[in-house]
Structure 1
Amino acid sequence: MPPLLPFLSPSSGSPCASGRAALTCRMRCGDACAHDAPNTSDNAYFGDVATAMSRRGLLRAGAVVGVGAAAAGLSLGAAGPAAATPSVSARAGAKSSDHGGASGKGLDFVPVDPNTLDQVTVPPGYAQAVVMAWGDPLFKGVPAFDVDRQSADAQRKQFGFNNDFLGLLRLGRGQHLMVVNHEYTSEQMMHRGYDAANPTREQVEIGWAAHGLSVVVVEEERGTGALRPVLGHRLNRRFHTQTAFELTGPVAGHPLVRTKADPRGRTALGTLNNCGGGLTPWGTWLTAEENVNQYFANGATVTDPVTLARLKRYGAAGGATERKWERFDDRFDVAKEPNEINRFGWVVEVDPYDPTSTPKKRTALGRFKHEAAEPRITDDGRVAMYMGDDERFDYLYKFVSSGTVARGDNDSARRRNRDVLDSGTLYVARFLGNSSQAEIDGTGALPSDGAFDGVGVWVPLVSGTTSYVKGMTAEEVLLFTRQAADLVGATKMDRPEDVQPSPRTGKVYVALTNNSNRGAAGQAVADEVNPRHANKHGHVLELTEHDDDAAATSFSWNLLLVCGDPKDPTTYWGGFDARRVSPISCPDNVAFDPHGNLWISTDGNALGSHDGLFAVPLDGDRRGQVKQFLTVPVGAETCGPWIDEDRVMVCVQHPGEKDGASVDAPASRWPDGPGSVPRPAVVAAWRTRR
Structure 2
Amino acid sequence: MTQPTHSDFHQRLASYDDEIINSTEQKSLDKMALSRRDVLKGSLNAAVIGFLGLSMGSRFAFAGENAIPPAPYIGFQPIQPRTDPLFDEVVVADGYQAKAFFSWGDPVETGATKWKADASNTWQEQLKQAGDNHDGMHFFAFPDNNNRGLMVINHEYINPTIHTDGLIYDGNGKRLPDDVKKEQAAHGVSVIEVKKDSHGEWQRVYPSLYNRRISTLTPMQASGPLAGHDLFKTVADPDGNEIIGTLNNCSNGFTPWGTYLACEENWHNYFFNHDKTDYQSRVSHHRYGISNDKNDNYYGWSTIDARFDATPDASLPHQGYVNEPNRFGWVVEIDPFDPQSKPIKRTAFGRFCRECVAPSLADNGQLAFYSGDDTRGEYVYKFVPSQRFDKTQMHNNKDILDEGTLYVGRFNDDGT
Both structures adopt the same fold (TM-score exceeding 0.5): yes
Q: Which residue of 2 aligns with 1:261?
A: 236
Q: CA 1:382/1:112 → structure 2, altered by over 3 Å: closer, same or farther?
A: same
Shift of 1:387: 0.7
Shift of 1:202: 1.5
Q: Which residue of 2 aligns with 1:138?
A: 108
SS in 1 for 2:370: strand
SS in 1 for 2:377: strand
SS in 1 for 2:228: coil
CA distance in 2, matches of 1:402, 1:130: 42
Percent of residue pairs identical: 36
Equivalent residues of 1:181, 1:213 under 8 A apart: yes
Equivalent residues of 1:183, 1:274 under 8 A apart: yes
Q: CA 1:419/1:392 → structure 2, altered by over 3 Å: closer, same or farther?
A: same
Structure-to-structure mapping, 1:467-478, within 5 angstroms: none
Q: Pick the aligned partner of 2:184 from 195, 208, 220.
A: 208
CA distance in 2, matches of 1:211, 1:135: 12
1:614-638 CA distances to partner (integer Å, 9 max, x unpaired)? xxxxxxxxxxxxxxxxxxxxxxxxx
Q: What residue identity is the alignment partner of 1:393? A: G
CA distance in 2, matches of 1:428, 1:223: 47
Q: Which residue of 2 aligns with 1:298?
A: 273
SS in 2 for 1:177: strand
Structure-to-structure mapping, 1:178-193, within 5 angstroms: 178-186=151-159, 188-193=160-165
Q: CA 1:201/1:128 → structure 2, altered by over 3 Å: closer, same or farther?
A: same
CA distance in 2, matches of 1:88, 1:368: 23
Q: Which residue of 2 aligns with 1:177?
A: 150
- Determine whether 1:388 maps to 2:372: yes
Q: Pick the aligned partner of 2:25 from 35, 38, 42.
A: 42
- Determine whether 1:349 maps to 2:333: yes
Structure-to-structure mapping, 1:623-634, within 5 angstroms: none
Shift of 1:279: 1.6
1:134-188 CA distances to partner (integer Å, 9 max, x unpaired)? 00001343221103331111100000001100111102262121000011112x2
Q: CA 1:302/1:155 → structure 2, altered by over 3 Å: closer, same or farther?
A: farther
Equivalent residues of 1:83, 1:379 under 8 A apart: no
Q: Which residue of 2 aligns with 1:568?
A: none
Shift of 1:21: 5.9
Structure-to-structure mapping, 1:523-672, within 5 angstroms: none
Q: Pick the aligned partner of 2:221 from 229, 246, 250.
A: 246
CA distance in 1, matches of 2:87, 2:56: 46
Shift of 1:377: 1.9
- Determine whether 1:328 maps to 2:304: yes
Q: Which runs of 4+ in 1 moved over 4 A?
A: 79-84, 112-118
Q: Pick the aligned partner of 1:88 from 61, 65, 74.
A: 61
Larger radius of gyration: 1
Q: Pick the aligned partner of 1:418 from 398, 411, 415.
A: 398
1:193-232 CA distances to partner (integer Å, 9 max, x unpaired)? 23543332221111010001000001223324x4221112
SS in 2 for 1:404: coil
Q: Which residue of 2 aligns with 1:509?
A: none
Q: CA 1:109/1:82 → structure 2, altered by over 3 Å: closer, same or farther?
A: closer
Q: CA 1:21/1:305 → structure 2, altered by over 3 Å: closer, same or farther?
A: closer
Shift of 1:329: 1.8
Equivalent residues of 1:299, 1:311 under 8 A apart: no
Q: CA 1:250/1:146 → structure 2, altered by over 3 Å: closer, same or farther?
A: same
More helix by share: 2
1:312-334 CA distances to partner (integer Å, 9 max, x unpaired)? 11000104422221132211001
Equivalent residues of 1:350, 1:358 under 8 A apart: yes
1:573-610 CA distances to partner (integer Å, 9 max, x unpaired)? xxxxxxxxxxxxxxxxxxxxxxxxxxxxxxxxxxxxxx
Equivalent residues of 1:84, 1:379 under 8 A apart: no
CA distance in 1, matches of 2:293, 2:63: 41
Q: What residue identity is the alignment partner of 1:318? A: N
CA distance in 2, matches of 1:292, 1:276: 13
Q: What residue identity is the alignment partner of 2:165? A: G
Equivalent residues of 2:195, 2:203 under 8 A apart: yes
Unaligned runs of 5+ in 2: 1-5, 32-43, 65-70, 312-319
- Determine whether 1:233 maps to 2:208: yes
1:37-60 CA distances to partner (integer Å, 9 max, x unpaired)? 1101122689x9xxxxxxxxxx9x
Shift of 1:90: 7.8
More strand by share: 1
Q: CA 1:223/1:326 → structure 2, altered by over 3 Å: closer, same or farther?
A: same
1:514-550 CA distances to partner (integer Å, 9 max, x unpaired)? xxxxxxxxxxxxxxxxxxxxxxxxxxxxxxxxxxxxx
Q: Which residue of 2 aligns with 1:620?
A: none
Unaligned runs of 5+ in 1: 1-19, 49-58, 69-78, 92-102, 435-453, 456-690
Q: Which residue of 2 aligns with 1:377?
A: 361
Q: Which residue of 2 aligns with 1:407?
A: 391
Q: Pick the aligned partner of 2:258 from 277, 280, 283.
A: 283
Equivalent residues of 2:17, 2:376 under 8 A apart: no
Equivalent residues of 1:87, 1:375 under 8 A apart: yes
CA distance in 2, matches of 1:203, 1:420: 39
Q: What residue identity is the alignment partner of 2:278? A: T
Q: Pick the aligned partner of 1:32 from 13, 17, 29.
A: 17
CA distance in 2, matches of 1:241, 1:417: 27
Q: Which residue of 1 aligns with 2:315?
A: none
1:76-105 CA distances to partner (integer Å, 9 max, x unpaired)? xxx9796764143589xxxxxxxxxxx986
- Determine whether 1:367 maps to 2:351: yes
Q: What residue identity is the alignment partner of 2:292? A: G
SS in 2 for 1:283: coil
1:545-579 CA distances to partner (integer Å, 9 max, x unpaired)? xxxxxxxxxxxxxxxxxxxxxxxxxxxxxxxxxxx
Equivalent residues of 1:247, 1:363 under 8 A apart: yes
Q: CA 1:310/1:288 → structure 2, altered by over 3 Å: closer, same or farther?
A: same
Equivalent residues of 1:218, 1:228 under 8 A apart: yes
Q: CA 1:30/1:157 → structure 2, altered by over 3 Å: closer, same or farther?
A: farther
Structure-to-structure mapping, 1:441-460, within 5 angstroms: 454-455=415-416
Structure-to-structure mapping, 1:154-169, within 5 angstroms: 154-169=125-140
Structure-to-structure mapping, 1:461-472, within 5 angstroms: none
CA distance in 2, matches of 1:396, 1:407: 29
CA distance in 2, matches of 1:144, 1:304: 44
- Determine whether 1:194 maps to 2:166: yes
1:375-406 CA distances to partner (integer Å, 9 max, x unpaired)? 11245422111011111110011111110112
Give me the TM-score of the superposition, normalised by structure 2. Answer: 0.81
Deviates more, 1:420-429 or 1:311-320: 311-320
CA distance in 2, matches of 1:316, 1:249: 24
Q: Which residue of 1 aligns with 2:246?
A: 271
Equivalent residues of 1:247, 1:268 under 8 A apart: yes
Q: Which residue of 1 aligns with 2:285?
A: 311
Deviates more, 1:80-89 or 1:249-258: 80-89
Q: CA 1:251/1:118 → structure 2, altered by over 3 Å: closer, same or farther?
A: closer
SS in 1 for 2:386: strand
Q: Which residue of 1 aligns with 2:36?
A: none
Q: CA 1:268/1:124 → structure 2, altered by over 3 Å: closer, same or farther?
A: same
- Determine whether 1:217 maps to 2:193: yes
Shift of 1:107: 1.4
CA distance in 1, matches of 2:15, 2:345: 23
CA distance in 2, matches of 1:287, 1:112: 30
